[in-house]
């Protein structure tokens, strides 16, 4: 699982990052708590936080990363992100309204969506317009950008089933202009709950191939998915499924955790959900480190008792050691 060193960055590196981020379309702050940007609602601050309001601001972000050598973190809807209590020592980047747009081509059934668009919003709009194939996404609280990065999915489908291509900016390129390069879906290394996208890759938009369908049927399916999720998955402070199913379609993480008698287990301010064993809840004003400590215990117990080494579905940032 990804992890980032917790040593505080040298003040000179932060200062150089701030200087490079001096751009009219970038709002920059320091020591900004990242918990409120995640569905876990816990975790420490980012050393530098850049809100980019126009594509041209990405050039300043790329230059800042090159000059300061601070690592970047793209912050979307935060539904798959857990930041350590110690925080993130690099540059957290949030994309503005220029990445929050939807258009549907009725002739080709192709939907274009900015990376900041919420998946449930796109699922409902596509269904209302009479297009099918994206209903599954109504139950996933993340954004298009995050969904591409992790090949999000559910209810028998995922992003790779309908994704055509994306517009991408690589922040490792100091001349990044904010005009994305088009990458086909088969060039992204999409796999079950993962992709080949790196930490400096920023998804700006995506194009999805849907199919004409019946509005009433699509909306009925959406209603059924929403009802199922409300019945079978907990609300509150979590990031959805914690572990990837070891054998998709055959061996589920939730059943393995249940088999080991871990449902309801608590460690500090974190607990395994009583409703779904593959969800770990955080208390109000809880600790991200407690969540990871419980994740480690669950993973170790399942490995010892069943032989399955479960992989995290959550991106862990700022923790001292990966596992």
Question: Among 64, 271, 313, 315, which one carries the catalytic annotation?
Answer: 313
Catalytic status, residue 193:
yes
Inter-residue contact 197 to 76 (CB < 8 Å): no
Catalytic status, residue 312:
no
Residue 236's CB is within 10 A of a number of other CB atoms, namely 14
Question: Among 13, 77, 193, 229, which one carries the catalytic annotation?
Answer: 193
Catalytic status, residue 313:
yes
User: 307 Cβ partners below 8 Å, 6+ apart?
Assistant: none
Question: Among 79, 94, 241, 273, which one carries the catalytic annotation?
Answer: 241
Report, as residue numbers or ranges, the catalytic residues: 193, 241, 313
């Amino acid at each position: 699982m990804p992890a980032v060193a917790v040593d505080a960055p040298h003040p000179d590196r932060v200062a150089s990052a701030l200087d490079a981020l001096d751009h009219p379309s970038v709002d920059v702050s320091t020591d900004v708590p990242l918990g409120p940007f995640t569905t876990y609602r816990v975790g420490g601050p980012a050393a530098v936080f850049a809100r980019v309001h126009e594509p041209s601001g990405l050039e300043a972000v790329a230059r800042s990363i090159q000059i300061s050598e601070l690592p970047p973190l793209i912050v979307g809807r935060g539904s798959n992100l857990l930041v350590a209590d110690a925080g993130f020592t690099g540059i957290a980047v949030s994309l503005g309204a220029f990445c929050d747009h939807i258009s549907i081509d009725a002739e080709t059934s192709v939907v274009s969506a900015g990376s900041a668009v919420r998946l449930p919003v796109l699922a409902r709009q596509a269904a209302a317009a009479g297009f099918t194939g994206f209903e599954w996404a109504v139950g996933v609280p993340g954004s298009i950008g995050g969904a591409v990065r992790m090949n999000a999915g559910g209810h028998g489908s995922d992003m790779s089933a309908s994704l055509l291509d994306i517009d991408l900016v690589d922040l490792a390129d100091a001349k990044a202009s904010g005009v994305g390069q088009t990458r086909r879906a088969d060039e992204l290394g999409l796999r079950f709950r993962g992709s080949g996208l790196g930490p400096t890759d920023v998804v700006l938009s995506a194009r999805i191939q849907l199919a004409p369908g019946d509005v009433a049927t699509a909306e009925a399916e959406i209603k059924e998915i929403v009802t199922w999720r409300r019945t079978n998955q907990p609300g509150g402070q979590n990031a959805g499924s914690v572990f990837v199913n070891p054998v998709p379609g055959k061996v589920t993480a939730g059943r393995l955790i249940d088999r080991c008698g871990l449902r309801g287990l608590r460690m500090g301010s974190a607990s395994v959900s009583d409703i779904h064993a593959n969800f770990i809840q955080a208390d109000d004003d809880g600790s991200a480190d407690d969540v990871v400590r419980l994740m480690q215990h669950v993973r170790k117990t399942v490995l010892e008792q069943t032989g399955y080494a479960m992989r995290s579905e959550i991106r862990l940032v700022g923790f001292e050691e990966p596992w």
